[in-house]
Structure 1
Amino acid sequence: MTILVTGGTGLVGSRLLRRFADAGVDCRALVRPGKDVPAGATPVEGDLLHADSLKQAVEGVSAIVHLAAVFRTQNEDDIWRANLDGTKNLIAAAKAHAPQARFVMASTGLVYDADASHPGREEDATHPKLAYPASKIAAEKELRNSGLNWSILRLGFVYGDGDGHLAAVPALATRFKWHPARTFSLVHQRDVARVVELALTGVMDGRIVNICDDAPTTLYEMASLVGSPVEPSAEPLTNPWMGRMDGSRLRGLGFQLTVPTVYQAVQQGIL
């Protein structure tokens, strides 16, 4: 099996590539010039925004793991170009040069509506207002209608193995004026990698699957865990369901988490 990974220099992709390389998997990483990849992975220069550059990357692959995304910017045009236009270009390249390849795309649990009455479920209607989740929903639709063999992984708040994501929580809470009691479904890097491996077996073909652990956690708790507490608040939380995901479908596929809660990650020293 030859696997192409996009976003291989990002928080999730770099760790996934290292895992694949250590396991001896034949993997390619789509990178821009000058970018390094873990030993054992093959860099292929290209850019998702330049369709003509993707032929070499996808030719001969048996699977594509599409992790590349832009979200930490206030430039909405950049978000839409990277997340929607880039995905369209990759889909077109796959259809032209690797039509039998399994296409696994990472999306986000942020797609679920802010006025939800329960934890987000894969079958729920989604009408996100922010550019990042809205662009991801649009990209999901492109993939679902592509005719390719696809699966979509809606990731919770990814953290762990020294990625620094939890450490960014206080700044994110301040920037977006999030209530400290706002709760997010989390998932550890190690379980993200294991889910991708499971998706590559075909068990998730044609499915959207929420990827989250067993213990939704408040911003207040997350910030406290990294030693940068945010101010508590006695004001009521507008909607306690916002940010929470239902992981029943993943469990129904027989998947068992290795890091079921962030507190276990703390005990194991793998934050």
Structure 2
Amino acid sequence: MTTLLLTGATGLVGSRLLPRLAQDGFKCRALVRGDAALPPGTTGVRGDLDDPDTLRTAVEGVDAVVHLAAQFRTSDDAAIWRANLDGTRNLIAAVKEHAPNTRLVMSSTGNVYNANATRPALETDACSPAAAYPASKLAAEQLLRDSGLTWAVLRLPFVYGEGDGHLASIQMLAPRLGLHPAQAFAVAHHRDVAAAVRLALTGVMDGRIVNVTDGAPVTIFEMARLAGQPIEGSAEPLANPWFGHLDGTLIRELGFSPSVPTIYAAARDGIL
């Protein structure tokens, strides 16, 4: 049985990924700072990515690490860099010292791609994001690539589903971030994020950065409407219709096929 450590296990993605991995037969450890309600068949291990001395017990004896922990819902840029870059650095150091043969799969973000795209973003595109969250994730990707470990990076799109509240947050986020109602973003349901992680754990993505997407981008206007939190449309020109789109060719070539093909399929099946 594969022993796996998951960071970010209580977050939006992690809390839905952890029970799926356990159901798939992985022996799952969850890195937690304190008491946390975890699903059956999983074990909490006390530790903090800010404190390297606490990570030895978490990583010893594991066959794989799935690194989801990240900070982004804050205006404190320093906190974002500490969590996303320094935390990843500490995790990599612990794995190298105490479990060097471990596969480390890290989640990143499709937001690393530049806003002046002329087509859906490819994994090989140059990236120079300005905002702290994508910039810190891009820097963390580079740390992992240079680590000498067996690694894979999953660049996630807008993740939704199972009542996680992410779609409903669009009504508030759109005006705050200046998002045009017609701007479309790549999306993926939690079920398919789990499928992508499972695929990465087979080794087929080793040494690769891979976009995760269902292939049917969704506008901000549609997201808000599907969440029951509609926003106003706009006839103002859209700055760049390609921004937010991810090319999903590579992950499909590696064997991925989304079980939730579109957000409208999720709405039909009652799994938004």
- In which range does the TM-score fall when normalised by the shorter chain? over 0.9
> Does residue 186 in structure 1 map to residue 197 in structure 2?
no
Which residue of structure 2 aligns with residue 57 of structure 1? 58
Question: 1:10 maps to what in 2?
Answer: 11
Q: How does 1:109-188 map to 2 (within 5 A)?
A: 109-188=110-189
Secondary structure in structure 2 of the residue aligned to 1:167: coil
Q: Cα offset for 1:35?
A: 2.2
Q: Distance in 2 between matches of 1:214 and 1:96?
A: 39
Q: CA offset at residue 182 of structure 1? A: 1.0
Give the partner amino acid of 2:182: A
CA distance in 2, matches of 1:176, 1:72: 12
> Conserved in 1, the CA contact under 8 Å of 2:49 and 2:83?
yes
* Distance across 2 between alignment mates of 1:134 and 1:244: 18
Please state whether the residue corresponding to 2:45 is helix, strand or coil: strand
Partner of 2:240: 239
Deviation per CA, 1:215-271, whole angstroms, max 9, x where unpaired?
101000110111111111100001111111100101111211100100000011000
Contact preservation (8 Å) 1:3, 1:64 = yes
Tell me the distance in 1 between the aligned counterparts of 2:231 and 2:48. Answer: 39
In the other structure, the counterpart of 1:68 is 69
User: Is the partner of 1:20 in helix, strand or coil?
Assistant: helix
Q: Note the alpha carbon deviations across 1:36-89, whole angstroms, 9 max, x for none.
A: 221211100000000010000000000000000011111101100000000000
2:22 aligned residue: 21
Distance in 2, Cα, partners of 1:28 & 1:264? 32
Sequence identity of aligned pairs in percent? 61
Worse overlay, 169-178 or 123-132? 169-178
Match of 1:102 in 2: 103
In 2, the alpha carbon distance for the partners of 1:179 and 1:83 equals 28
- CA distance in 2 between partners of 1:58 and 1:211 (Å): 26
- CA distance in structure 2 between the aligned counterparts of 1:202 and 1:191, rounded to whole angstroms: 17
Matches of 1:219 and 1:67 in 2, distance apart?
Answer: 25
- Aligned mates of 1:48, 1:87 — CA distance in 2: 7
Rounded to whole Å, the distance in 1 between the matches of 2:16 and 2:179 is 29
Residue 91 of structure 1 corresponds to: 92
Mapped partners of 2:132, 2:24: distance in 1: 36
Deviations 1:121-159 (A, max 9, x none): 100000001000000000000000000000000000000
Tell me what 1:223 maps to: 224
Assess if the C-alpha contact under 8 Å between 2:108 and 2:137 holds in 1.
yes
CA contact (8 A) 1:24 1:40 kept: no
CA–CA separation in structure 1 for the residues paired with 2:77 and 2:210: 26
Instruction: Give the Cα–Cα distance (whole angstroms) in 2 for the partners of residues 87 and 138 of structure 1.
Output: 10
User: Is 166-175 or 86-95 further displaced after alignment?
Assistant: 166-175
Deviation at 1:24, TM superposition (A): 3.5
One-letter code aligned to 2:55: L
Per-residue deviation, residues 188-230 of structure 1 (Å, max 9, x unmatched) = 0000001101100000000000000121010001101111111
Instruction: Tell me how far apart the structure 2 counterparts of residues 70 and 83 of structure 1 sit (CA, whole Å).
Output: 6
Query: For 1:45 and 1:16, how far apart are their aligned partners in 2?
Result: 19
Q: How does 1:27-42 map to 2 (within 5 A)?
A: 27-42=28-43
Q: Distance in 2 between matches of 1:35 and 1:135?
A: 27
Gaps of 5+ in 1: none
Aligned with 1:28: secondary structure? strand
List runs of 5+ in structure 2 lacking aligned partners: none
- Give the drift of 1:23: 3.2
Residue 187 of structure 1: CA displacement?
0.4
Quick check: 2:215–2:247 contact (8 Å CA) kept in 1? no
Aligned AA (1:156): P
Give the Cα separation in 2 of the matches to 1:159 and 1:54: 30
